[in-house]
C-alpha cells in the first residue's frame, strides 16, 4: 500500500475530526452527570433549609382552638362563642389513650417586657413542662419550666433568644434577674434558643414562657384555655383521631358534633405529609431530568463511536487480517467508549461537587452550614459506576459493527 503526503494529510484530518467529535460528545456526558448531581444536591439543600422552619416540632402533633358555632344545638343559637377549659385536658386523656400528650396553652400577644431601662415587645406563653415534647427547646442558660414551678406556682420564666439579646446586650447569664411584663415580675430561670417557625405561641425568640397556672391567675382567666396541644402515640395518626377529639370536646360544651367549623384543629402531621409529598415529587423530577440529560449524552457517544468505527474500517480490517481476534476488536471499541464516558463523568461529578461546596459555604451562619447541599461519597461512587455502565452500553453497538468488518471490505474501501 502506497502512503503519500495526501494520504497522511487525510489521516491527520480524520484524527482531528474524531477528536473534535469525541470532545463534543464527552461534554454531553459531562453536562448530564453535572446536572444530575447538582440538582440532587441542591434539592437536598433546599429541603434542609425548609426543614429548619419545623426544627424541634413534633410531626404527629396538633393544636385545638375553639371558635363560634355555625349550627344550632340543644336550644343554643348558631354563632355562639365557646372556650376550651382545663377540664377538657382530663376528658381527652381519659377518653383517648391513643394520645400521648394533652397539654393546655395560654397565649397573649403585644405585651411589653422590661429589664431596668430596656424595653421591648413580646408574647407571653403559659405552659406545662410536657409542652417540650410537642415543641423542643434549646436551653443556653439555666433550665426549662419544671413540675415544681407548676406545683408551687412560682413566678419564673424562660425568655427567647431575641429578648435575651435586646434586654441583656452585655451578654452573660441572666438567670436570677427579674423581668417585668405589664405589671407582673418574673424571675428568669432560662434562655431558650430553640423553637420553630410554626410555633403556635408567637415567635419563640420573642416569647416568654411562664408556668400555666401562674399566668392563668395573673390574667384572671378562670379555668379558660386558649388552646390544647396534642401528640399521638407511635402507630396512631392525629388525623384519624380528629373526629373523636371533636366529639369529646363538643359533648361537654353543647356543640353540635357535626359542626366542624365550631373549632379549628391545626394538624402538623398534614403539613409534614404535604412537605414530604412535595419533595418526593421534586426528587422524581430531578432524577427524570438528570437521567434524561445523561442518557442524551450517552446516546451521542454511541452515535459518534458508530461514525468512528465506519471511518476506521481499514484499520479494523487490517488488524483482523494480521491475526487480531474478534474479542480484541470488541474490547478496543468498548474500552474507548468506556474511557470517554468515565473521564467526562468524573469531570462532571468533580465540578458538581465543587459547585455544591460553594453553595454550602454561601449558606453558613457563624461558620456552621445551615443546610447540607453536598452529596454523599456513596452517591458519587454510584454515579461514577452508572456512567461507566452507560459507557459500556454505548460502546456495544459500535463494537459489534466493528466486529463484523472483514479484511476484504477494508481493502475494497481502501
Query: Is 288 a residue whose pLDDT tops 70?
Result: yes
Query: Is 14 a residue whose pLDDT tops 60?
Result: no
pLDDT of residue 2: 41
Instruction: Give the span between the Cα atoms of 376 and 20, in whole angstroms.
Output: 34
The model's confidence at residue 22, banded by pLDDT at 50, 70 and 90, is low
Instruction: Give the span between the Cα atoms of 20 and 75, in whole angstroms.
Output: 88
- Structure-block grid coordinates of residue 199: 410555633
The model's confidence at residue 7, banded by pLDDT at 50, 70 and 90, is very low
The model's confidence at residue 159, banded by pLDDT at 50, 70 and 90, is very high
Instruction: Give the span between the Cα atoms of 307 and 286, in whole angstroms.
Output: 32
CA distances from 409 to 54, 401, 402, 412 (A): 70, 13, 12, 5
Instruction: Give the span between the Cα atoms of 362 and 182, in whole angstroms.
Output: 42
- pLDDT tens-digit map of 87-125: 999 999 999 999 999 999 999 988 999 998 899 999 999
- pLDDT tens-digit map of 160-210: 999 999 999 988 899 999 999 988 999 999 999 876 555 555 678 889 999
Instruction: Give the span between the Cα atoms of 209 and 124, in whole angstroms.
Output: 6
- Structure-block grid coordinates of residue 254: 353543647
What percent of the chain is modeled with pLDDT above 90? 31
More confident residue, 300 or 409: 300
The model's confidence at residue 38, banded by pLDDT at 50, 70 and 90, is confident
pLDDT of residue 293: 77
The model's confidence at residue 8, banded by pLDDT at 50, 70 and 90, is very low
The model's confidence at residue 313, banded by pLDDT at 50, 70 and 90, is low
More confident residue, 51 or 249: 249
The model's confidence at residue 230, banded by pLDDT at 50, 70 and 90, is very high
Amino acid at each position: 500500500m502506497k502512503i503519500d503526503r495526501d494520504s497522511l494529510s487525510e489521516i491527520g484530518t480524520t484524527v482531528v475530526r474524531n477528536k473534535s467529535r469525541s470532545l463534543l460528545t464527552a461534554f454531553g456526558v459531562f453536562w448530564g452527570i453535572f446536572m444530575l448531581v447538582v440538582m440532587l444536591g441542591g434539592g437536598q439543600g433546599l429541603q434542609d433549609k425548609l426543614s429548619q422552619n419545623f426544627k424541634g416540632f413534633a410531626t404527629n402533633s396538633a393544636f385545638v382552638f375553639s371558635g363560634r358555632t355555625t349550627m344550632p344545638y340543644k336550644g343554643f343559637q348558631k354563632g355562639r362563642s365557646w372556650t376550651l377549659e382545663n377540664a377538657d385536658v382530663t376528658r381527652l386523656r381519659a377518653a383517648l389513650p391513643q394520645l400521648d400528650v394533652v397539654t393546655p396553652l395560654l397565649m397573649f400577644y403585644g405585651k411589653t417586657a422590661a429589664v431596668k431601662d430596656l424595653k421591648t415587645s413580646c408574647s407571653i406563653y403559659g405552659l406545662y413542662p410536657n409542652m417540650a415534647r410537642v415543641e423542643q427547646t434549646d436551653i443556653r442558660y439555666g433550665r426549662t419550666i419544671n413540675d415544681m414551678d407548676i406545683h408551687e406556682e412560682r413566678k419564673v420564666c424562660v425568655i427567647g433568644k431575641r429578648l435575651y439579646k435586646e434586654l441583656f446586650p452585655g451578654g452573660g447569664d441572666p438567670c436570677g434577674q427579674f423581668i417585668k411584663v405589664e405589671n407582673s415580675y418574673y424571675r428568669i430561670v432560662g434562655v431558650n434558643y430553640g423553637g420553630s417557625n410554626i410555633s403556635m405561641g408567637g415567635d419563640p425568640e420573642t416569647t416568654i414562657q411562664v408556668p400555666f397556672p401562674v399566668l392563668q391567675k395573673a390574667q384572671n382567666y378562670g379555668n379558660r384555655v386558649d388552646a390544647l396541644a396534642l401528640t399521638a402515640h407511635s402507630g396512631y395518626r392525629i388525623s384519624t383521631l380528629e373526629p373523636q377529639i371533636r366529639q369529646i370536646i363538643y359533648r361537654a360544651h353543647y356543640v353540635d358534633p357535626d359542626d366542624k367549623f365550631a373549632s379549628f384543629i391545626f394538624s402538623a402531621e398534614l403539613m409534614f405529609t404535604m412537605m414530604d409529598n412535595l419533595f418526593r415529587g421534586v426528587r422524581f423530577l430531578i432524577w427524570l431530568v438528570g437521567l434524561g440529560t445523561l442518557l442524551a449524552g450517552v446516546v451521542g457517544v454511541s452515535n459518534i463511536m458508530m461514525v468512528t468505527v465506519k471511518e476506521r474500517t481499514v484499520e479494523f480490517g487490517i488488524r483482523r487480517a494480521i491475526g487480531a481476534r474478534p474479542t480484541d476488536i470488541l474490547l478496543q471499541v468498548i474500552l474507548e467508549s468506556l474511557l470517554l464516558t468515565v473521564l467526562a463523568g468524573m469531570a462532571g461529578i468533580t465540578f458538581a461537587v465543587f459547585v455544591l461546596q460553594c453553595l454550602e459555604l454561601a449558606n453558613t451562619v457563624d461558620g456552621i452550614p445551615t443546610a447540607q447541599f453536598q452529596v454523599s461519597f456513596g452517591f458519587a461512587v454510584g454515579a461514577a459506576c452508572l456512567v461507566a455502565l452507560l459507557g459500556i452500553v454505548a460502546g456495544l453497538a459500535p463494537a459489534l459493527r466493528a466486529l463484523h468488518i472483514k479484511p476484504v471490505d477494508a481493502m475494497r474501501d481502501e
